[in-house]
A and B are shown apart, each in its own frame.
Chain A
Amino acid sequence: MRESESEDIRIGVFVCHCGLNIAGVVDVEEVTEYAKSLPNVVFATHNRYTCSDPGQEEIRKAIKEHKLNRVVIAACSPRMHEFTFRRTVSEAGLNPYLLEMANIREHCSWCHPSRPKEATEKAKDLVKMAVAKARLLRPLEPIEVPVTNKALVLGGGIAGISAALDLAEMGFKVYLVEKKESIGGHMAQLDKTFPTLDCSICIEGPKMVDAARHPNIEIIAYADLLSVEGYIGNFKVRIRKNPRYVIEENCTGCGECRDVCPIEYPNEWDMNLGVRKAISVPFDQAVPLVYTINRDYCIECYKCVEACGERQAIDFSQQPEEIELEVGAIIVATGYDIYLPEEENIYGYGKYSNVITSLEFERLILAAGPTGGHVIRASDGERPRVVAFIQCVGSRDINKYPYCSGFCCMYTLKHAIQLKEHYGDDIEVYIFYMDIRSNFKGYEEFYARAREMGVNFIRGRVSKITETPEKNLIIHAEDTLLGEPIELEAEMVVLATAAIPAKGADEVARLLNITRGSDGFFMESHPKLKPIDTPVDGIFLAGACQGPKDIPYSVSQGSGAAARAATILSKPSVKIEPIIAVVDPEKCRNVRVKCGICASKCPYGAIVVEKGKPAEVRAAMCHGCGTCVAECPADAITQMHFTDAQIFAQIRAALEENPERKILGFCCNWCSYAGADLAGTSRYEYPPNLRIIRVMCSGRVDRDFVLEAFRRGAGMVLIGACHLPYDCHYIDGNWKMTERMKALAKMLQKLGLTPERFRVEYISAAEGVKFANVIREMAEKLEEIGEERIKAENAKLKPILDRMLSRKGM
């Protein structure tokens, strides 16, 4: 092609064993030998760990020795190590964008372990595709953008507070946005903390005050996140501050208004065990200490206005206020919720009044709680003499929440010890558990302490609970250590219910374009090496929003996230990937006729179209999805690093041999490609006839790619995208693709293509299982349709497709 004519292409191929991860299935030597046979490949080798120091050194050496000007690394997913290897080649003086990776681990050896021969064939194809693309790679320079050195922390629990304080101490301005009236999070609801039994609010309170007083921290409480735009270093965030009907600057927090207010409503902070006034603070240590009127309950008698008097802090006409913030990094610390097994009436919760959750128990035993720290029964106000705790309610339950909520064992031990400390031998405490999980410092000793104090541990799952006329509870369980069923009458039952994703986590995920795992918690970029990062550069995770965490873990992660954010904020500028769209002014139709399709399809408004002039892409605003490239009727737009020529080369390489037996997949980087990676990481096996081409967004998938694939005889074509309606990393690229492909599918069907041969699927980064299932299904269907029919259909299609693609000069 035109691009490569001027230089002599010298490609080096490096095949990685990854220990036995790849070499245990794929014959790496055979792949290496095969690579040597490919045009323009002047060097090929294999090594045990390409990403290790010696492995990288070998690449650098080879580049110099063999004058390599393109490098192909057949190893793990580019989502894992592309960054590493780009640095490696640039250290050897090569432009980092002259590197291409073939994913022969996640997409090959890990998902085809029982078919080594076919896996090796697939690996060869993947290398061939990578080499084909590498031949057409062009050097690119990263785009440098300035950084706003302020941070946004979403969520004012202990993780968010820790992150905000650390960043503020480093000298960065921090906006700490909290949905509720006060910061503090769940920790502020707790009585004592394990294993030291120190008072929770006594240790968190000073931190909350520190955050409020810190000159670099601005707390924006009682606020909602409306929208987030922009990219690393340059986020624009809109926040809505909800009206408290109390003017923050004037409120002294004296509480005189509360005393005169006639109206009470359930206090959510107390898990609705007690009440608060219609004008009040949720708890005495609230930060900011500003009263709030709940207009849902207020009867507007204005007694509070009278009591407030000259301070004039009350303003019934207050309106929601929208604020726009500009920040360089965002830390998400939105926390978790506690599962309330109300609807299902699990263990009689919601039906029997003396069955409560652990968080409710926490409010009961807390001295500042609604009962003044007295553990009493709801039915008669008496202190229970026999209390039973039931573990893993909802957690570790495949029908509900399969994961372990992590901290329940420890807080139940704490509750048991607290009861024993308060009442000694006057109380019997039973704990029904599956396993006691007490790893981490001081936890096992705490468990020992509970046993020494006489807490009874019964290993076994509770089957059901019934109520006696005295409102006592009969627990039916199996003692798996004794191997026999048991019955126990308790006067109070406390359920350790699962920690679940916070309400509204889906909305936060949508606004920030970050992914959630199958458990609903936010997903980290890499479970081992990037546990704090999200797939979106510049957005980090802290605390239990990523998965249940106890206090020390949340604090550490908060500090970790602060450090990660500081790596961006401390620099005057960041480099962003130059994979943007570029318009060829000579080809652009807009010069001759009114067009502007690209501008109308761009999700970011990054394209400017003026009458009679070629369209123009504003580089800093372009996010590099490639939707405009696919939409341009004149093929005048090119996406750097994902050019038409490069992708066509990959298609042809993939379908050179036995095309009718293959499934060609176009997968978007953020969801489907990551889903395929997860299928590999989780070792879900599927048939090896899939060949994946990575695009940044499904919006990039041109109709012509599909046509070319069928012209080359592909058995099936799959387009993998993010879920509709909101999951797309580029706002709505998946919608544009959907519209485009619906029309195309109809046309292909009319031309005689079996509809099942062209498929669009929406698979998230968390859906490894779904990915494997889709491929299995497609492979079965492929088998069912049969090679003969496919060949016949393709032969019929070819002349039509030839004609359609001829305008591309193909």
Chain B
Amino acid sequence: MVMKLLRTETDEHLKVSRTLYTRSYLLILDKKRCIRCEICRAACPKEAIEIIQPTRVEGERLSHASISIDEKKCSFCGICSTICPVGAIKLIIDGEERSPVIDKGSFPELIRRVEIDTSKCPRNCIECQEACPFDLIKVEWNGDSVRIDVDLDHCPGCRLCETKCPENAITVKRIFSGRIRIDWSKCPDGCRDCVDVCPIPGVLEVSDDGRVGVNDYFCIYCGACRVVCPVEDALLLERTVIAHAPVQSGAWNSALERLTSTRGLIKELMSKRMGRALESVMRRLS
């Protein structure tokens, strides 16, 4: 049997597979979940992921970019499935969902945290459920008691639920922190491409004077806007910190550099070193 490298695409999925006699690899991109951001492409160490620009039609709302994965370049390492902010990518090895990079400590898991103090919940309130742009929160009232399930694996941490909660019962940890700014002087007249593609409602809005305004409290710094922005440097987006489990890995360092900046990488390396120094001092003192 010949080893098979395949790529198949439907409206719902993009599947890339490598099938050997004794082992099979399957990478599935859930196109319904995918927000067409730039995270996976930036993180991929083999440059196997490509983002294809949508074609612009005058006067119409910009359609989404599409993502293509090159089956010949893919190493089936699991970095994209680990880093995807909305958990749209899955890697299945021999029928089991796995991430070899996490198994071997070559890449960190993202820290996704949504804490809800249900004791504060006003009766029959489902504000958070309605606020979530990805339908990840399920609130179930049973008389006085409430049960709230959050599908954390797909949560990018936009904090819409947190702000909408009338009782401040929710705390959300950001995955990506950073800065976003729009240089209006460079924006083409009437362009609202970034607004059209932003996955989080309310982050980008066109104000009365036709300028695009940014509300970066909810921004997840995914870069979907930058992907489609037609002008260089009109949209300045920078990630500074990524919340992740501790790790020591070259693959993570270079992904971090590509996702944030060299400065971001240096900062993390410095703090790691500080942490280690602190640890050894503590050990000596105790």
* A interface, CB within 8 angstroms of B: 260-266, 272-275, 278, 297-303, 305-306, 340, 342, 349-350, 353-356, 360, 364, 370-371, 378
With beta carbons under 8 angstroms apart, the residue of B21, B45, B76, B104 that contacts A303 is B104
Q: How far is the CB of B222 from chain A (nearest CB, A)?
A: 22
Asked if B105 and A303 sit within 8 Å, CB to CB, the answer is: yes
Stretch touching chain A among B174-182, B186-194, B246-254: B246-254
Q: Is the CB of A301 within 8 A of B101?
A: yes
What residues on A are CB-neighbors of B23 within 8 Å? 264, 274-275, 370
Interface residues of B in 66-108 (CB under 8 A from A): 75-79, 100-101, 103-107
Residues on B with C-beta less than 8 A from A273 are: 1, 20-22
The answer to whether A342 touches B2 (Cβ under 8 A) is: yes
B22 to chain A, nearest CB (A): 4
B106's partner among A262, A274, A370, A378 (CB-CB below 8 A) is A262
Q: List 25 A-B contacts (CB under 8 A).
A: A260-B104, A261-B104, A262-B100, A263-B75, A263-B76, A263-B100, A264-B100, A265-B75, A297-B46, A297-B75, A299-B75, A299-B77, A300-B45, A301-B101, A301-B104, A302-B249, A302-B251, A305-B250, A350-B2, A355-B1, A356-B21, A360-B1, A364-B21, A370-B22, A378-B1
Against A, the Cβ 8 Å flags (1 = close, 0 = not) of B231-271 are 00000000000000000111110100000000000000000
Question: Which residues of B pack against A, CB within 8 Å?
Answer: 1-3, 18, 20-23, 45-46, 75-79, 100-101, 103-107, 248-252, 254
A-B contacts besides A299-B45, A299-B79, A356-B1, 20 pairs, CB < 8 Å? A262-B77, A262-B103, A263-B100, A272-B2, A272-B3, A272-B21, A273-B21, A274-B21, A275-B20, A275-B22, A300-B254, A301-B249, A303-B106, A305-B250, A340-B2, A349-B2, A354-B1, A360-B21, A371-B22, A378-B1
Flag if A301 contacts B251 (CB, 8 Å).
yes
Contact A301 B22 (CB under 8 A): no
Within the complex, what minimum Cβ distance (angstroms) separates A360 from chain B? 7
The residue in B18, B103, B106, B107 that gathers the most chain A C-beta atoms within 10 A of its C-beta is B106
Query: What is the bound-complex CA distance between A262 and B107, given in angstroms?
Result: 10
Residue of B nearest to A299 (CB): B45
Residues A262 and B101 in contact, CB atoms below 8 Å apart: yes
When chains A and B are docked, how far (Å) is the Cα of A371 from the Cα of B1?
14
Interchain residue pairs A-B with the least CB separation, the first 8: A301-B106, A301-B251, A302-B250, A273-B21, A262-B104, A299-B45, A262-B100, A272-B3
- Taking CB atoms, residues of chain B closer than 8 Å to A378 are 1, 21
Per DSSP, are chain A's interface residues mostly helix, strand or loop, or mixed? loop
In chain A, what residue has the closest Cβ to B250?
Answer: A302
Q: Output the nearest chain A residue to B24 by Cβ-Cβ distance.
A: A378
With A and B bound together, what is the CA distance between A340 and B251 in angstroms?
36
Cβ-closest chain B residue relative to A260: B104
Q: Report if A306-B100 is in contact (Cβ < 8 Å); known contacts: A275-B23, A297-B75.
A: no
> In this complex, what residue of B is CB-closest to A305?
B250
In the complex, how many angstroms separate the beta carbon of A246 from the nearest chain B beta carbon? 16
Q: Which residues of A contact B107 (CB under 8 A)?
A: 301
How long is the Cα–Cα vector from A122 to B34 in the complex, in angstroms? 83
When C-beta atoms are compared, the residue in chain A nearest to B75 turns out to be A297
Which residue of A has the minimal Cβ distance to B103?
Answer: A262
Contacts of A298 in B (CB 8 A): 75
Give the residue name and chain of the A residue nearest to B5 (CB). A266
**CA distance in complex: A350, B5 (Å):** 12
Q: Which residue of B lies closest to A351 (CB)?
A: B2
Chain B residues whose C-beta falls within 8 Å of the C-beta of A371 in the assembled complex: 21-22
Specify the chain B residue showing the minimal Cβ separation from A350: B2
CA distance A262 to B18 in the complex (A): 16
A303 contacts across to B, CB distance below 8 A: 104-106, 249
Tell me, rounded to whole Å, the shortest Cβ–Cβ distance linking A295 to chain B: 10
Query: Would you give the shortest CB distance from A570 to chain B, in whole angstroms?
Result: 48
B83 to chain A minimum Cβ distance, whole angstroms, is 13
Partner of A300, one of B2, B76, B251: B251
How far apart sit A192 and B166, CA to CA, in the bound complex (Å)? 75
Q: Which residues of A contact B46 (CB under 8 A)?
A: 297, 299
Contact A274 B2 (CB under 8 A): no
Distance between B110 CB and nearest chain A CB, rounded to angstroms: 17
Q: Which residue of B lies closest to A259 (CB)?
A: B104
Query: For residue B254, which residues in chain A have a CB less than 8 angstroms away from its CB?
Result: 300
Cα distance, A298 to B23, chains bound together (Å)? 19
Which of chain B's residues has its CB closest to A342's CB? B2
Q: Given the complex, which residues of B lie within 8 Å of A260, measured CB to CB?
A: 104-105
The residues of A that contact B103 with a CB separation of less than 8 Å are 262
Q: Closest B residue to A363 by CB, please name it.
A: B21
CB distance from B82 to the nearest CB of A (A): 11
Q: Which residues of A contact B76 (CB under 8 A)?
A: 263-264
CB distance from B259 to the nearest CB of A (A): 15
Q: How far is the CA of A674 from the CA of B87 in the complex (A)?
A: 68
Return B27 CB to nearest CB of chain A, in Å.
14
| Max chain A Cβ within 10 angstroms of own Cβ: one of B75, B101, B249 | B75
Docked CA distance A278–B3 (Å): 17
Given A262-B101, A299-B106, answer yes or no on A353-B251 (Cβ-Cβ < 8 Å): no
Residue of A nearest to B102 (CB): A262
Q: Which residues of B contact A264 (CB under 8 A)?
A: 23, 76, 100
Which chain B residues border A353 with CB–CB below 8 Å?
A: 1
Closest to A271 in B: B21
- From residue B129, how far is it (CB to closest CB) to chain A in Å? 38
Taking a contact as CB atoms under 8 Å apart, the answer to whether B250 and A300 are in contact is yes
Known: A263-B100, A301-B106. A370 touches B21 (CB 8 A): yes
Q: How far is the CB of B46 from chain A (nearest CB, A)?
A: 7
List the B side residues contacting A275 at CB < 8 Å. 20, 22-23
A349 to B78, CA, bound (A): 31
